[in-house]
Amino acid sequence: MGSHDNEDMGFQHRNEGTLNCPSSGMSTNPLPEKVSRMAMSSGSIFKPSNAPDPFFGSGWDPLVSLSQSDNFGGSSVASQSEFTNPPYPIAMETQGMSSTSHLVQYPSDSSYVEMVPKLPCFGSGSFSEMVGSFGLPECAGISNPGCVANYNPNRDGGIDRTSTMGTQSLDDRQVSEEGALGSSPNGRRRKRVPESSPNKNAEGELNKDMSGESSDYLKEQDEKKTKLEENTAANLRGKQAGKQTKENSQSGDAAKDSYIHVRARRGQATNSHSLAERVRREKISERMRLLQELVPGCNKITGKAVMLDEIINYVQSLQQQVEFLSMKLATVNPEVNIDIERILSKDGNLQNMPITAPQFPSLPQTVLDNELQGLFHMGFDSSSNIDSLGQNASRLKPEQ
């Protein structure tokens, strides 16, 4: 553990020396080596990209700071004499590496980095918004096919989120990661890193196993590195660093609290309103995901509006079904004796008997009976119900 710390610290110093050279010709080679080493220890993926070069010239602080952290690949970093945070990207990376969930973000991040130069204006948009605007198809082109398999499930979720919920996606990951990491303030820093470092996806390998193991000492390293970075980058970051430190301290304190803490990313407003808004958006997206699982046939829907429409349709259809069934039950002739028997048997049947979803009223009884008989021996199969209900829902869908 200690050796790793030394290693990382060494990286920082070495990087500082190399990165401070104004030579634009400085290749990313030295860095990637270190990065790969870091990757070994932290299991992170690094992807050098020269994309940020034009940005640095623009003096766009948020991006610059982001690319600083992201682009340890260097040439762009080298061009900025002000960049003194070679350790920063690495630190951030290591921070990010500690949890595999962070890795998920890399593909989108790298895509973001590539897209960055093309952006005409970045304004004050958050990093995640940028990522979202670039879309996820960019991610497909990104690296590490070995890691893709792991990325995919998370990425899809992230993609949905970024496309629909803009800043929410990274926030979600942030928050979830924060929750996963518990009350350690280091966890906060780690979370921040992946979001602000698209370049991290650069070449590196993804050692998920390593990431799990290295989480402990990585936290310490991350802390040190972030502190170093913040100190050294004061010139460039200016108030942003100050805000970050404030956030760090706040988040550090907040770690012990029970509510979810959100860290404002660089370039984002850090006033309480936007933070609270982000928390709220994350909550909403969480619940929307849950609803997406409940409503059949909504896995592919991305978008709160469409999702809400589907939910409304589904609830309406269920209520209509209840009404129809109550009408049906009203018309059935009462047979008291049999009722009692059925009461006793139904409770058992309800657990064993497969029930097909009631189709629309026009469906003849015989069809239901046949279906019931067909499924009778399969047991109460909830999945089949979902499928049949899904058919109902699909009918309700205006399109698709």
Partner 1 sequence: MRTSTTTTSSGITLSTKSCRIKFARRFLRSLVEIKKQKRSSASSSEEEICKRSKRIKMAAYSSMARAVGPRMNWSRALLFKLRNRVGYPRLVKKKKRVTVRSNKVSRSKSSVHIDRGNKLRKLVPGGKSMDFICLLEETAHYITCLNTQVKVMQAIADNLSK
SS3 for 2-64 is HHHHHHHHHHHHHHHHHHCCCCCCCCCCHHHHHHHHHHHHHCCCCECCCCCHHHHHHCCHHHH
Q: Least distance to partner 1 from the beta carbon of 380, Å?
A: 8
List the one residue out of 197, 191, 177 whose CA is nearest residue 110: 197
What is the 3 state secondary structure string of 147-160? HHHHHHHHHHHHHH
Interacting residue with partner 1 among 152, 183, 302, 385 (CB under 8 A): 385
Q: How far apart are CA 129 and CA 164, in angstroms?
A: 10
Nearer to partner 1, 146 or 379 (CB): 379
Integer angstrom CA distances of residue 132 from 45, 52, 286: 20, 18, 18
Closest CA to 264 of 239, 289, 247, 284: 247
Among the candidate windows 59-67, 115-123, 220-228, 355-363, which touches partner 1 by CB under 8 A?
355-363
- Closest CB to partner 1 among residues 255, 311: 311
Query: Does residue number 121 form part of the binding site for partner 1 (CB under 8 A)?
Result: no
Judged by beta carbon, residue 57 or residue 179, the one nearer partner 1 is: 179
Q: Which of 13, 239, 280, 395 binds partner 1 (CB under 8 A)?
A: 280
Least Å distance, CB 170 to partner 1, is 17
- Of 325 and 378, the one with the shorter C-beta distance to partner 1 is 325
Question: Which stretches of 125-271 are DSSP H helices?
Answer: 127-134, 137-140, 145-165, 167-181, 185-196, 208-232, 234-237, 239-255
Site string for partner 1, 306-345 (x = CB under 8 A): --xx-xx-xxx-xx-xxx-xxxxxxxx-xxx-xxx-xx-x
Q: Which residues bind partner 1 (CB under 8 A)?
A: 273, 277, 280, 283-284, 286-288, 290-291, 294-295, 304-305, 308-309, 311-312, 314-316, 318-319, 321-323, 325-332, 334-336, 338-340, 342-343, 345-347, 349-351, 353, 355-358, 365, 368-369, 372, 380, 382, 385-386, 389
